[in-house]
Structure 1
Amino acid sequence: MEVKRVNETQRTTSEEARRIGDAIGVDWGRFDLEQFRRGLDVEFEHGSHDPQTDVTGDDPILTGKIAFAHMKEFPDYYERLERMEAEAEREWSAKKS
């Protein structure tokens, strides 16, 4: 299964996310497609763009499984992660000033 990069941050489309989720058995009645799509975008950061931290080789199924594992713990995992990263960015920016 191939996922085409929409831009450098690997913007996964909803259609691609659904295909990946279907392939790994995501129950769309329990899990939100947009959260999963956002999760794929986040987890693709651990792909081939940084060889030191590449754990997936940009494989969409492996990447999907990582996103799904996080969402099984907390269905809104990526929404929470986004808030936490924004807060951390503000704190670190203030420390650099």
Structure 2
Amino acid sequence: MNMKKHFTQEEAKTIGVQLGIVWDRFDADQFRRGMDVELEHGRRDPHTDVTHDDALTTGKIALAHLKEYPDYYDRLEKMEKEAEKFWEQHKQKLPP
């Protein structure tokens, strides 16, 4: 079975409308990027799959984060880059 890897802008907007998103309060691209990120809760990892790549459920997770911070996914991207750099420098110190 194919795993969803990303959502198009059109798919994200359709889900956003179903969720009642008011686009003047949320950036549509942040929402689309958020849906892509939140696929990590899908079939990608059977141990943590809670959405089964369902677009509406994935959209709800993204919306929940954007309601906390409208720039949530910009901040997440920055934090992940910093974490990757940190752990690349410290991986030799990690236990086997």
Same fold flag (TM > 0.5): yes
Q: Give deviations 1:14-59, integer Å, cap 9, x for gaps.
A: 0010001001111101100000000000001110121100011111
Q: Give, in angstroms, the shift of residue 88 of structure 1.
A: 0.2
Identity of aligned residues (%): 59
Work out the CA distance in 1 between the residues paired with 2:40 and 2:11: 17
Q: Unpaired segments of 5 or more residues in structure 2?
A: none
Tell me the SS of whatever aligns to 2:6: coil
Work out the CA distance in 1 between the residues paired with 2:12 and 2:22: 13
Q: CA RMSD in A?
A: 1.3
Q: Unpaired segments of 5 or more residues in structure 1?
A: none
The answer to whether 1:53 aligns with 2:48 is yes
Q: Give, in angstroms, the shift of residue 11 of structure 1.
A: 2.0
- Give the counterpart letter for 1:39 in structure 2: G
Mapping 1:1-97, distance limit 5 Å: 5=4, 10-97=5-92
Matched positions, count: 90
Q: Give, in angstroms, the shift of residue 69 of structure 1.
A: 0.5
Structure 1 runs of 4+ off > 2 angstroms? none
Work out the CA distance in 2 between the residues paired with 1:81 and 1:49: 19
Work out the CA distance in 2 between the residues paired with 1:11 and 1:62: 14
